[in-house]
Every structure is written in C-alpha cells, then in structure tokens.
Amino acid sequence: MQLARLPATMAPLAFTLLATAITGSYRLGGVLMSVFVVAGLLGSIPAGRLLDRIGPSRGLRLLLMSSAAGFTALLTVSDGPLVLALVVIPGAIEGGLNGGFRTLLAGTVPDGQLPRAVAVDAMILEGVLIAGPILVSLLGMGGSLLPLAGMAAACVLSTLLVPSREHRRTARADRPALPIRAALPWLACQFAIGHLLSTIEVAPLPLVERLGAPAALAGLVIAVLSGSSIVGSALYAWRGSRLKPGLFLGGFVLGGVTVAADLGWPGLIAGAMLIGLSVGPLVTTASVAMQRLLPEGRRAEGFSVSFAVQGAGFALGSLAVGVLPLWLAPLLGSVSSAAAFALLKLVKKEKDEGVSAVRPQLGTGAPAATGGQQNRDRRR
C-alpha cells in the first residue's frame, strides 16, 4: 500500500525536473502538478465506482498498471502540451488508489483493530511523504527522466503486491445510496485536514522569512510537523482510541491561530506541533467513522470521495497561501476546523433529539407480542 503511494509523493519534484529538462524552466512543473491534482479530484468518483464494480483487488491492479503506462509514456515525449495531456492519466487514476487500498484495509483488519491499523497507516504515510522527495533527489542524479522511471516501477511492483480478495458483485439496482448527509461532518473534517495542513506545508519558506530567519530553516517547520504527526498517530494507536474528535479539531483550531498570530519561533513551532499531533488521530477517527457509514458495495467510491474532499481542502489552502496575507491563510484553516466541529455537534444533537423522541413511545402503544406471536412473526 505504501509503495503505491510513493509516486504521488515523488510527483512534485519529479515534474519539476522533467519541466526543467524540457523547457529550461521549472514553471511547467507547477502546471503539471496542478493538472495531476485536478485530474485526481475529477477521477476519484469514477475510479471508486469501477473498484466497487469489479472488486478492489482486480481494480487496483488495473489502475496501477495503467498508471505505470502513463508514467512510462511521459519518458518518451518532449512536447509541453503532450506532456500535460499524458499527466492526466496517472492523475485521474491516483484519485481512486487511496480509496481502493482503504477498502482493502477494511476487509483485512478486524473491526476492533481498525482504529489502531489506520493510525499506524497514517504514521507510516508520513515516512512515505518524506521518502518520496529524497528518492527523486537520488534518482535525479542519474538524469531528469529517471525519477519517472522509478514512479512507473513503483506502480508495477505495487501491482504484484496487491492481495487477492473475493468480490461479490452487486447489481446496480441493488446498490444502496451513499449516506452523504450522515457523512457530512466527517467529510468536513477531511476538508479541514487538507485545508490547514496545506497552509503550513506549502508556506514554510515565507513563514520562516517572516521571522527574519534564513530559507534553510524552512525544512525545520516541515520536520516538526511530520515528526509531531508520527508521534500523534503512535500515541493514538497505543492509547487514544477513546478520545473524541472534538479534541483533535480543537488542536487544529489552536494550532492554526497560533501560527497566524506571528508569535515568533515559539509560536510557529508550537502551532506546527499542535497541528501535527492532531492530524493523525483526526484522520483515523474520520476514516473509521466513514467506514461504519458506508455500505459495503460502495466503500471504494465513498473513500475516494473522502480523499477527494481532503484534496480539495489542500488545493484551497494552497491557493490561499498564494493570494492572501500570510497570517490569514492558517486562520482560515482554523475556521474550517471550527466549522467541522460545529457540524459534528449539530449532527450529534439531532441524533440525540431523535433518540429522546423515540424513547417515550416505547412504553405506550400496542402491548408486547406473546412468545407465540413473536415466533409467527419470525417465520414471516
């Protein structure tokens, strides 16, 4: 699973190297990455539906081989517009991979162990996010195209490692609807995760320059964020599964406000740590809650929607960093987190009121059925 995620973490730097080799400038690399991300957002739902229809194991092998073909095709072209067109293929496929692997995890891990498994997965993902750019840097020493070859190879190897699972196909007429309303608070959490994280991950350089520090210290901000995320996920996997999502959203709100407040190095480091410590547990809580809501025949599609929503939040936060004052971008990320918290409370209140309305009726109405009547009802 982690090997399949490697190409997406390699893509930003790999596309920059490719663009520089083709045009002599890095600017095309940013455009390529934008096309890759947008294609993933648009392709997530169709890819998820395909996985639900033909089964996650079979579907993931098909998607991974198609992605490998797309990266391989990029090795053979040097025309800018054609490169842009070819990036769409692995980009659209990427939108369904996360949902497919998350569906496989749901069918592999017992329900009681799922929160711990998802937390460990989030912890390992941080390592993959760090390893991707490092691998591109190493491969780039051998040429600007070698990272793309590495991305294609990772897809092929991932295909060989996809576990086989039996799939029971569901007729289209029997497919239940996605519980969008019930899932809305958790989708809001996913959006807030992407939104606030992007305002830190995309802006480490201006954040340290605001403090008058050299650009070389920008990596320290990312190191603190990633390290805290690993620690937060590990602690949640160990002891934190009973904690409420409101606590982690509170960490997001406080962390974003602290970064926005420009409190010097202590404020920047403390804010990054608060966000990092909260992100793994919040991802885990939202993911497990989504699984319990999603019907089995539409899990890949539902998880793909969830990852797409998180990606949309990341894109919006990245845009905010580029066009808004630096202090406002993380503050808006905190607003997204507060909105998700309010939505969770609202849905919980509606649920509690519904339960309270039903309870008084339990002692009234028709008398309880006799044992014979109950047996007749069961046979019916």
pLDDT of residue 371: 47
Instruction: Give residues with Cβ within 8 angstroms of 279, minimum separation 6.
Output: 122, 193, 197, 229, 232, 248, 252
pLDDT of residue 250: 95
What is the chain's Cα-based Rg? 23
Sign of CA pseudo-dihedral 298, 114, 102, 341 = positive
- Considering only CA atoms, which of 83, 3, 105, 69 is closest in space to residue 35? 83
Dist CA 77 CA 89 (whole Å): 14
Whether residue 55 contacts residue 167, with contact meaning beta carbons closer than 8 Å, is answered with: yes
Quick one: how far is CA 220 from the chain centroid?
Answer: 23
pTM for the model stands at 0.80
- Considering only CA atoms, which of 2, 68, 55 is closest in space to residue 164? 55
Terminal CA-to-CA distance of the chain, rounded, Å?
46
Residue whose pair of structure tokens reads 């919980």 in the numeric block: 348
Whether residue 131 contacts residue 150, with contact meaning beta carbons closer than 8 Å, is answered with: no
pLDDT of residue 368: 45
pLDDT of residue 174: 58
pLDDT of residue 77: 85
CATH numbers and ranges of domains, the chain:
1-162 (1.20.1250.20), 179-357 (1.20.1250.20)
pLDDT of residue 68: 94
pLDDT of residue 166: 65
pLDDT, one tens digit for every residue, the chain (380 residues)? 678 889 988 888 888 888 888 887 777 887 888 888 888 888 888 988 888 888 888 889 999 999 999 999 999 887 878 888 999 999 998 878 888 888 888 777 777 788 888 888 888 888 888 888 889 889 988 888 999 999 999 999 999 988 876 656 655 545 677 778 888 999 999 999 999 998 998 888 899 989 998 888 888 998 999 999 999 999 888 876 678 889 999 999 999 999 999 999 999 999 999 999 999 999 999 988 988 888 877 888 888 888 889 988 988 888 888 888 999 999 999 999 999 999 999 888 877 666 555 555 555 554 444 444 444 344 44
Rounded to 5 degrees, φ, ψ at 34 are -65, -45
pLDDT of residue 252: 96
CA atoms within 13 A on the CB side of 24: 0
